[in-house]
Amino acid sequence: MIAVATVPRASLAVLAAITVIANGCAGEDPYLDLSQAPTDVAAPEVAVDVASATHTSTVATAATSEIVAYVEPGGEDPVSRLANPIPSGSPLVFEVISAHVNGWHEVKLPIRPNGSTGWIKAEDVTLASNPWRLEISVADHQLRVFREGRLTIDSPVAIGTGATPTPIGSFYLTELLQPTDQSGPYGTFAFGLSGFSETLMEFNGGEGVIGIHGTNDPGSLGTDVSHGCIRIENSVIDEMATFLPLGTPVLITP
The residues annotated with a catalytic role in the active site are 213, 229
Q: Characterize the bridge pairing of strands 17-21 and 169-179.
A: antiparallel
Largest distance between two CA atoms of the chain: 57
Length of the chain: 254
Q: Characterize the bridge pairing of strands 93-99 and 57-62.
A: antiparallel
CA–CA dist 71, 51 (Å, integer): 20
Cβ count within 10 A of residue 7? 18
Closest alpha carbon to 119 in 135, 103, 131: 103
Q: Strands, DSSP E only, in the chain? A: 2-6, 17-21, 48-49, 57-62, 66-70, 78-83, 93-99, 104-108, 117-121, 125-130, 132-137, 142-147, 150-160, 169-179, 190-196, 209-213, 224-226, 230-232, 249-253
First and final CA of the chain: distance in angstroms?
36
